[in-house]
Amino acid sequence: MSVLATIRPGAWDLPLFVHVLGAMVLVGAAATGVRAAFVSGPAPATGWAARFAYRTFLLAALPAFVVMRVGAEWIRSKEFGGGVDPHFVIVGYTVGDLGGLLLVAGIVLSWFAVRRQRPRLTKVAAVVIGVALVGWLVAVWAMGAKPS
């Protein structure tokens, strides 16, 4: 009988769980915030949606990004050590870092939009973070499919 899958060491379970949990919360929070930002409008009617989007980006997506990155570094040090990283890890780092920059830019734009009551600026923040969200979904695919 042949072996169908390689069993990974138990020491990798917690770092991988932290990384995947952070990534799942990040994608969910970003998607929720982007949706709320797109439905927001002028302050009296739907200004609550802009505030909700800003708080979702700041209080859910940003901490989830930090957890995802800490988990990524942790599992990388356990699994690959100081060796050469496979392509899916390089894709993950590239998309993760650029997405993090877009997330911070979107949070700043969203903060200005809420502070100055500019609904169009909220939509710009949604587009910026939406681009990051698409990249993160590509990274989820790369991590799951592990293309060569």
pLDDT digits (tens, 9 = 90+) for 22-56: 999 999 999 999 999 999 877 676 788 999 999 99
Distances (CA, A) of 27 to 3, 109, 112, 136: 34, 19, 23, 7
In-domain check, residue 21: yes
- Give the C-alpha distances (Å, rounded to integers) separating 82 from 29, 57, 79, 95, 117: 32, 33, 9, 21, 49
Contact status, residue 125 vs residue 106, Cβ threshold 8 Å: yes
- The C-alpha atoms of residue 72 and residue 7 are separated, in whole angstroms, by 19
Is 28 part of a structural domain of the chain? Answer: yes
> Which tops the pLDDT comparison, 59 or 147?
59
The residue with greater pLDDT, 28 or 88, is 28
The pLDDT of 5-12, averaged and rounded, is 69
Burial call 71-82: b when 16+ CB within 10 Å, e when fewer: bbebbbebbeee
Q: In terms of residue numbers, what domain contains 138?
A: 12-145
Confidence band for 117, pLDDT divided at 50, 70 and 90: confident
Residue 6 falls inside a structural domain: no
pLDDT at 14: 92
Residue 128 covered by a domain: yes
Statement: the pTM of the whole predicted model exceeds 0.85? yes
In a domain, 5, yes or no: no
In a domain, 30, yes or no: yes
More confident site: 142 or 16: 16
State residue 144's pLDDT score. Answer: 82
Q: How many domains does the chain have?
A: 1
Measured CA to CA, the distance from residue 37 to residue 41 in angstroms comes to 8
Residue 66 has pLDDT above 70, yes or no: yes
3 occurs within a structural domain? no
* Residue 104: predicted pLDDT: 97
Q: Is residue 2 part of a domain?
A: no
- Please name the helix (run of DSSP H) or strand (run of DSSP E) that holds residue 18, with its range, or none: helix 13-39
